[in-house]
Amino acid sequence: MKPKTIALVAHDNRKKDLIEWVEFNKETLKRHKLICTGTTGRMVEAALMQNRSKGEPKLDIRLLKSGPLGGDQQLGALICEGEVDVLFFLWDPMQPQPHDVDVKALLRISSLYNIPTATNRSTADFIISSPLFASDYEPKTKSFSEYIGRPIDF
């Protein structure tokens, strides 16, 4: 199985939950490429580096900008380019976000491109423990050729 590219994002009130989840799943996550937004990425990096022996390979973590500073949009662009296999986005449904439109756009793009997306810890547990997670799974994508090739009327 080739490594998956896994995006990890969490709102402030969910960062602790994501870090606990990362620590619980770190042996699985270490075998994959990780993309994280801002502070979440630095926290994930610290959690995965803890207790790492000197003989282990360096972790493959790509840090984007913080969500409110454009990180959500960067991640959405990577999904559009086919560079993300799974999105774990623990968002806080009880807190207003200054970048709410970006959050909605990211979730829309992950759905549009049929990316497995977990927005809570239970779904994250189901995805990472699925036999499909440990295989070379290719999600079926919808063709948008009709939309792209539609006539343009002025």
Q: Which residues are catalytic?
A: 72
Exposed / middle / buried, residue 109 (Cβ in 10 Å: 0-12, 13-18, 19+): buried
Report the alpha-carbon angle 83-85-87, nearest 5: 105
Cβ proximity of 62 and 6 under 8 Å: no
Helix (H) or strand (E) holding 42: helix 38-49
